[in-house]
């Protein structure tokens, strides 16, 4: 996974952008993983999509594709054995394929995509989550 993310960094260094198109994702959980990978590497010009027509059709457009975490506060890094990237409006956490499940305690309460306020999150093998700050004034940076 890290090699793949590093490859995207190399593409960016050449002045190009990427499209992360998951052709095999059949669940929303898998779509979040694809979106998280895109956010971990995004230069602000990349795209993330799916071949699941039900998630990109006008009648069923998946709200995850409109996620806006604001400006990245820096590059991705490893924290508590997961890959993380911080943004002005939230964070992205990704547990790589083949890794043990992990529970991450958050510095402050954050909102899950479903709107639940949490102080920790559990991620299994090949799981990711995008969390937002509940109040923009509580965001770092």
What per-residue confidence (pLDDT) applies to 18?
87
- Predicted TM-score (pTM) of this structure: 0.85
User: pLDDT tens for residues 15-32?
Assistant: 998 888 777 777 888 888
Kindly report each contact of residues 77-82 with a partner whose C-beta sits within 8 Å and lies 24 or more positions away, as own/partner: 79/104, 80/104, 82/123
Share the mean pLDDT of the chain: 88
Of 50-59, 78-87, 120-129, the one with minimum mean pLDDT is: 50-59
Burial pattern 114-134, b for ≥16 Cβ within 10 A else e, equals eeeeeeebebeeebbbbbbbe
Q: Mean of the pLDDT values across residues 26-52?
A: 85
């Amino acid at each position: 996974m890290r090699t793949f993310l590093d490859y995207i960094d190399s593409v960016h260094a050449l002045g190009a952008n990427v499209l992360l198109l998951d052709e095999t994702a059949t669940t929303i959980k898998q779509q979040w993983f694809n979106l998280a990978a895109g956010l971990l590497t995004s230069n602000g010009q990349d795209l993330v999509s799916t071949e699941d027509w039900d998630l990109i059709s006008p009648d069923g457009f998946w709200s995850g594709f409109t996620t806006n975490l604001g400006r990245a506060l820096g590059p991705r890094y490893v924290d508590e054995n997961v890959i993380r990237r911080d943004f002005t409006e939230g964070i992205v956490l990704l547990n790589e394929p083949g890794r043990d499940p992990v529970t991450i305690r958050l510095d402050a309460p954050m909102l899950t995509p479903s709107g639940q306020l949490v102080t920790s999150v559990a991620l299994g093998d090949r799981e990711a989550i995008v969390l937002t700050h509940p109040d923009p004034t509580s965001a770092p940076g």
